[in-house]
């Protein structure tokens, strides 16, 4: 994805999240990962324990990295939580490169899941 296109779409995602989920506050990357995890869990809005919040972020990261062939969904456990399997090693990336990859994958998620239409 071209840098300018990614930047435009990323700002659109941030605006969408901040408007719909943050009561005017700014949601950071971790907050967006948490929301994607909640969406992927599919159990709706509820209170989560601290360890569940970390698990939700892990679910989101696995889902996002599945677009690049690193993870594969292997199924749901008895409580309905998705589980992924690592199928290709992750590349060694610097912190800035990791953030860029996550932003690109988040944009792709919102596009592929038809949550945001970037054509407008």
Q: What is the pLDDT of residue 22?
A: 79
What six digits make up the tokens of 81?
């939580």
Per the CB < 8 A criterion, the answer to whether 119 and 8 are in contact is no
Considering the domain boundaries, does residue 104 fall inside one?
yes
Task: Determine the Cα–Cα distance for residues 16 and 25; give it in Å rounded to an integer.
Answer: 12
The answer to whether residue 87 is domain-embedded is yes
Whether 41 is covered by a domain: the verdict is: yes
Q: What is the pTM of this model?
A: 0.90
Is residue 43 domain-resident?
yes
pLDDT digits (tens, 9 = 90+) for 27-54: 899 999 999 999 999 988 889 999 999 9
State what percent of residues in the chain have pLDDT above 90. Answer: 78
What's the confidence (pLDDT) of residue 120?
A: 65
Whether residue 38 is contained in a domain is answered as yes
Structural domain that includes position 23: 3-112
| Domain count across the chain | 1
Cβ atoms of 56 and 48 within 8 Å: the answer is yes
Q: Is residue 72 within a helix (H) or strand (E), and if so which, with residue range? A: strand 71-76
Q: Is 5 left (phi over 0), alpha (psi -120 to 50) or beta?
A: alpha
Instruction: Tell me whether residue 58 is in a domain.
Output: yes
């Amino acid at each position: 994805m071209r840098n300018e296109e990614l930047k435009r779409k990323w700002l659109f995602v941030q605006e969408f999240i901040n408007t719909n989920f943050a009561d005017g506050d700014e949601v950071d990357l971790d907050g967006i990962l948490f929301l994607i995890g909640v969406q992927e869990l599919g159990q709706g809005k509820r209170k989560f324990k601290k360890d569940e919040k970390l698990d939700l972020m892990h679910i989101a990261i696995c889902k996002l990295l599945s677009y690049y062939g690193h993870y594969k969904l292997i199924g749901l456990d008895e409580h309905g939580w998705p589980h992924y399997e690592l199928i290709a090693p992750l590349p060694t990336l610097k912190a800035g490169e990791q953030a860029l990859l996550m932003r690109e994958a988040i944009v792709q998620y919102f596009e592929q899941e038809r949550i945001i239409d970037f054509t407008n």
